[in-house]
Copies of this chain bind each other. A is one copy, B any other.
Amino acid sequence: MTLTSPGPTLGVVGGGQLGRMLAEAAAPLGVEVVVSDPTPDAPAAPVARDQVVGDFDDPGTVRELAERADFLTFEIELADPDLLERVSEETGTPVHPDPETLRIIEDKLVQKRRLADAGVPVPEFREVNSAGELRAALDDLGYPAMLKARKGGYDGRGNVPVESPEDVDEAFAEIVDAAQGGSQTDPSGVAMVEEMVDFERELAVMGCLGSERWGEGDEPERDTFPVTETIHREEILRETRSPPEADEDVRERARGVALDVLDVMEGRGVYGIELFQGPDGEILLNEIAPRPHNSGHWTIEGCHTSQFEQHVRAVTGRPLGDTGRRAPTVSANVLGDVDERQAATLSGEDAVFERPRAHLHWYGKREVYRLRKMGHVTLVGESGDRTDRLLADVRELRDGLTFRD
């Protein structure tokens, strides 16, 4: 390959924080980024070459993006796989990962079936198309269980716990409503239910699929970033730590499951692979995101190559970078702590700037609302540091930040 100016242009469907951090990582490599997003002046806009304003699934928008780009990718699962495939064929601009992967992943039932068929360990699950089917499934799986919208779930939206038989009707009505905004009366194809895993901890692995050019034989180059522990509250990621407290053999097993997941995925890019570690150290797959993921933000400072640079490398056909960890690293999300939607003004951030080896990442969102992801703080330790100490420190830094007056 060669490098020119203007360099290759990467078109990204979605201009949120992931698009922004992709653009930050692309610049040193000489890759220019154009994003599409319905919100004018989206978070990625000030860093990207340009933004095409339009919906994620608007044909004209995606087509304009493809025409301006040498490679197309997406940072949001709301991207439409059929549209991406058609536009890619019409314009000749390749799209990575393959839209087929998006098709598999966007429907959680299809995703789980494909992975289970491939031998990836997953929690027990059932398709449920009515409250009656849900009740029958739970007679088998037992209570409590997690009822999930098959499509469109995100940060806990579209997940409803079912504690006992009395909850079944209400839970099913809620998931149908959540999935369809109440506009549809036929609940077929809307939901699945999954056993509630009594996990010891949650882990995540960023998997990487590169080009066949750099792999062995006809296989794409593959790799994983170091295993990360993810800590959720209200089903929203709050903190990560890497290495996790998990034993070495558990980490190896998690990495093995991630590699098995990558065998099912098609197309270049990084994949956020969320896992449960069960009480006996067994690993079960939770969910997959076919894009950079919140659980990998710590790699920006914590690894020799960040997940964002890795995604840019993979999509543009470059060799994958070194995923090695520089030092134990933790991160904490900065979430909206206000009740009403309002203009975003963060205070307390100078304590983060003052702290050695702490890094504030601000996503540039103009408005804040409760639990909105506004930024994150990463804290890098010294080789050999325990992450429980680092975790306490990064929480203290994060807890000193507020959007309140």
Mark A residues whose CB is within 8 Å of B: 1-7, 20-21, 23-24, 27-30, 32, 46-47, 49, 214, 300, 304, 313, 318-319, 321-322, 324, 326-327, 343-347, 349-350, 353-354, 356-357, 359-362, 364-366, 375, 380, 383
20 A-B pairs within 8 Å (CB atoms) are namely A2-B345, A2-B346, A2-B347, A2-B349, A3-B345, A3-B347, A3-B362, A4-B345, A4-B346, A5-B366, A28-B359, A28-B360, A28-B361, A28-B362, A30-B375, A304-B357, A318-B350, A319-B354, A322-B357, A326-B327
- Contact at A20–B27, with CB atoms within 8 Å? yes
Q: How many copies of this chain does one complex carry? A: 2
A308 to chain B, nearest CB (A): 11
- Contact at A322–B24, with CB atoms within 8 Å? no
Contacts of A24 in B (CB 8 A): 24, 27-28
Contacts of A353 in B (CB 8 A): 313, 318-319, 321
A317 to chain B, nearest CB (A): 9
A99 to chain B, nearest CB (A): 26
Q: Complex Cα distance A87/B324, Å? A: 48
Q: Complex Cα distance A288/B177, Å? A: 66
- Contact at A364–B30, with CB atoms within 8 Å? yes
Q: Which of B1, B300, B322, B354 contacts A349 (CB 8 A)?
A: B1
Q: Complex Cα distance A23/B356, Å? A: 22
Determine the residue in chain B with the shortest Cβ distance to A364.
Answer: B5
- Contact at B354–A4, with CB atoms within 8 Å? no
- Contact at B32–A346, with CB atoms within 8 Å? no
Contacts of A345 in B (CB 8 A): 2-4
Known: A5-B362, A29-B362. 19 other contacts (CB 8 A): A1-B349, A1-B350, A4-B344, A4-B346, A5-B365, A6-B364, A6-B366, A7-B362, A7-B364, A23-B47, A27-B47, A28-B362, A30-B362, A30-B375, A304-B380, A318-B353, A319-B350, A319-B353, A321-B353
